Amino acid sequence: MRKYLFIIIALVVFVLPVKSQQNSSNLQVKLLTLNELEQRIAKGKDTTYVVNFWATWCGPCVEELPYFEKLSTENAKKPFKVILISLDFKSKLKTAVIPFVVKNKIKAEVYVINEIDQQKYIDRIDKNWSGAIPATLILNTAKKVRGFYEQAFTYEQLTKAISTLVKP
Amino acid sequence: MKKLMLACFVLLLASTLNAQNGYQVGDLASDFNLKNIDGKQVSLASYKDAKGYIVIFTCNTCPVSKAYESRKEELNKKYAAKGYPVVAINTNDPVASPGDTYEKMQQRAKEKNFSYAYLLDPDHVYTKKYGAMRTPHVFVLQKTKKGNEVAYIGAIDNDQQLENPQRENYVQNAVNQLLQGEKPSVASTKAIGCTIKWKKEASK
């Protein structure tokens, strides 16, 4: 009997809290390294990826996020994926990024970048990038498309950039 | 012959691209004459004893710039006396970014006790000429016989959030090396920053 009691207590103490924690953080946002991003895009073959680099503290980024949301819902049935990568500090994942995503009901995939060295990751994303955000990457592995934009978009500019880069 | 022509073309293209992108390390930087928050005009030449300058393109509103405010102050306290004063230039148009008006700049400087010049750049003339792409964006200049030579371009350090004990203080290292008569070993760096808030009719 004692044995069972111990197991039950152990379950309550250790397993349950872990589960509920997982639920709350799994809900929205994970960390992502550039390697993981590259692998994901390479596997996507003919999927067009629109990868937006933003941060909760960046005004123009927050302003253009609804356009990326709209893009995501309007292309939901196509091989098309919007990925929002926040450059907020990792330490802000739970205090800033997740609350922001919940509050603004963002449905597109959101990650926080899991890279330490800005010197390296800025160049890896694009050699010509100064590091200013917002910035957006448009990629399609099968069509060998790679476009990089260090600018804020309107919805029209965004769809135009995609349609000129990715020919049907 | 074709190869040579191609090489010339590439060189020409590269040089026009450079011109568009502003200064590279080794270029001579133009002086300016811009209005400071105290109403007086400031130029690089007005610093008579300077051996060089730490020119920081920045603004009131960018969270990254704000995070670096005390470090800008530290840089000026440490290096102005050694001949490298901090000269801050606000890159942002006050209409496009209402937090960056002249009055707001004065307020901020007063609140935070800026010990360095904080200049206006109407129509982004020098922001464009230098090629500042984000805030904060630092250009360390060294006074030479030829003029003010760009010795370092980039970030203040690689620790925006002040949590890395192994922080590399790029600007301090560059200025220290210049003071010792050496060229900076790290002459250009990149960092995440805010876009410049361009004047509406000039914006893309």
Q: What is the pLDDT of residue A17?
A: 46
* Cβ–Cβ gap B195/A133 under 8 Å: yes
- In this prediction, residues A71-81 reach a mean pLDDT of 95
Q: What is the pLDDT of residue B38?
A: 96
CATH architecture of B23-202: 3-Layer(aba) Sandwich (3.40)
* Cβ–Cβ gap A118/B190 under 8 Å: yes
pLDDT classification of B16: cutoffs 50, 70, 90: very low
Q: Which helix (DSSP H) or strand (DSSP E) does residue B140 occupy?
A: strand B137-143
| A119-123, B4-8, B183-187: range with lowest mean pLDDT | B4-8
- pLDDT tens figures, B177-189: 999 999 999 999 9
Nearest chain B residue to A119, by CA: B190
DSSP reduced 3-state for B134: strand
- pLDDT tens figures, B72-88: 999 999 999 999 999 99
**Bridge partners, residue A51, by sequence:** A83, A137
* Cβ–Cβ gap A91/B190 under 8 Å: no
Nearest chain A residue to B154, by CA: A130
Q: Give me the percent of chain A exceeding a pLDDT of 90.
A: 75
Is the pLDDT at A127 greater than 80, yes or no?
Answer: yes
pLDDT classification of B159: cutoffs 50, 70, 90: confident
The minimal CB distance from B192 to the residues A118, A123, A151 is found for A118
- In this prediction, residues A123-128 reach a mean pLDDT of 94
* Cβ–Cβ gap B134/A132 under 8 Å: yes
- In this prediction, residues B43-50 reach a mean pLDDT of 96
The residue ranking higher by pLDDT, B160 or A80, is: A80
* Interface mutation vs chain A, best among B57, B60, B163, B192, most A CBs within 10 Å: B192
The minimal CB distance from B190 to the residues A91, A130, A152 is found for A130
CB contact set of B28 (below 8 Å; sequence gap of 6+): B146, B147, B148, B149, B150
Q: What is the pLDDT of residue B113?
A: 93
Residue A15, Cβ neighbours under 10 Å: how many?
10
Q: What is the pLDDT of residue A4?
A: 64
Q: Which residues of B touch A55 (CB under 8 A)?
A: 192
Distance from A124 to chain B by nearest Cα, in Å? Answer: 12
Is the pLDDT at B12 greater than 60, yes or no?
Answer: no
- In this prediction, residues A131-139 reach a mean pLDDT of 96
| A27-31, A52-56, A160-164, B24-28: range with lowest mean pLDDT | A27-31
CB contact set of B182 (below 8 Å; sequence gap of 6+): none
Query: Average per-residue pLDDT in chain B?
Result: 91
For A85, the token pair is 């990568």
Nearest chain A residue to B62, by CA: A58
Q: What is the pLDDT of residue A1?
A: 57
Q: What is the pLDDT of residue A7?
A: 55
Q: Which domains does chain A have, with CATH numbers?
A: 29-165 (3.40.30.10)
Q: Single out the residue of B78, B98, B59, B44 nearest to residue B175, CA to CA.
A: B78
- In this prediction, residues A96-100 reach a mean pLDDT of 95
* Cβ–Cβ gap A131/B63 under 8 Å: no
Please provide the DSSP assignment of B33-99 as one string: -EEBTTS-EE-GGG-TT-SEEEEEEE-SS-HHHHHTHHHHHHHHHHHTTTT--EEEEE-S-TTT-GG
Please provide the DSSP assignment of chain A as one string: -HHHHHHHHHIIIIIHHHHHHHHHHHTSEEEE-HHHHHHHHHHTTT-EEEEEEE-TT-HHHHHHHHHHHHHHHHTTTSSEEEEEEE-S-GGGIIIIIHHHHHHTT--SEEEEE--S-HHHHHHHH-TT--SEESEEEEEETTTTEEEEE-S---HHHHHHHHHHHS--
| A67-76, A112-121, B100-109: range with lowest mean pLDDT | A112-121
- pLDDT tens figures, A19-54: 444 344 445 799 999 999 999 999 998 999 999 999
Is the pLDDT at B95 greater than 90, yes or no?
Answer: yes
Distance from A65 to chain B by nearest Cα, in Å? Answer: 16
Q: Which residues of A touch B161 (CB under 8 A)?
A: 89, 91
A:B CB pairs within 8 Å: 57
Q: What is the pLDDT of residue A76?
A: 93
Q: What is the pLDDT of residue A117?
A: 84
Distance from B123 to chain A by nearest Cα, in Å? Answer: 19
* Interface mutation vs chain B, best among A63, A92, A119, most B CBs within 10 Å: A119
Q: Is the peptide bond before B136 cis (omega within 30 degrees of 0)?
A: yes
- pLDDT tens figures, B110-120: 999 999 999 99
Q: Which residues of A touch B191 (CB under 8 A)?
A: 118-119, 122, 131
* Cβ–Cβ gap A91/B163 under 8 Å: yes
* Cβ–Cβ gap A130/B155 under 8 Å: no
B204 lies within 8 A of chain A by CB: yes
In this structure, are residues A53 and A133 in contact, taking their beta carbons and an 8 Å threshold? yes
| A18-22, A131-135, B165-169: range with lowest mean pLDDT | A18-22
